[in-house]
């Protein structure tokens, strides 16, 4: 009997943890800041028209990058920024065409 209770308790804990992780990476995820250390390292800007450097190609932005994941509207997910959202109009040096 105690094995069954332990099992149910563990399954409930895993479900709650899964829901919590989903909320962190879902629609409520924070936007990445240009001052974030990872964003600075990748030269991320929230507006591609402010991008500087030789790597920037006119017309490139997060929404047409191969790494940009399913955003609707002004923001989407990028695996490079640990669950934080990026601006669809943004850009970074890791940009790759779709």
Q: How many CB atoms lie within 10 A of CB 61?
A: 21
Q: What does residue 85 show for φ and ψ, rounded to 5 degrees?
A: -85, 155
Is 0.85 topped by the overall pTM? no
3-state secondary structure at position 27? coil
The answer on 85 and 95 residing in a single domain is: yes
The answer on 41 and 15 residing in a single domain is: no
**pLDDT tens, N- to C-terminus, the chain (98 residues):** 566 666 555 555 564 444 444 544 456 789 999 999 999 999 999 999 999 999 999 999 999 999 999 766 789 999 999 889 999 999 999 999 98
Q: Kindly report the length of the chain.
A: 98
The answer on 22 and 2 residing in a single domain is: yes
| Counted domains in the chain | 2
Q: Are 42 and 89 in contact (CB under 8 A)?
A: no
Q: Are 34 and 69 in contact (CB under 8 A)?
A: no
């Amino acid at each position: 009997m105690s094995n069954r209770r332990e099992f149910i308790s563990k399954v409930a804990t895993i479900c709650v943890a899964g829901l919590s992780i989903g909320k962190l990476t879902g629609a409520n995820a924070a936007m990445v800041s240009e001052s974030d250390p990872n964003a600075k390292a990748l030269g991320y800007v929230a507006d591609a028209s402010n991008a500087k450097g030789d790597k920037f190609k006119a017309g490139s932005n997060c929404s047409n990058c191969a790494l940009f994941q399913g955003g609707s509207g002004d923001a989407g997910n990028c695996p490079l920024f640990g669950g934080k959202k990026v601006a669809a109009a943004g850009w970074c040096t890791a940009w790759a065409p779709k």
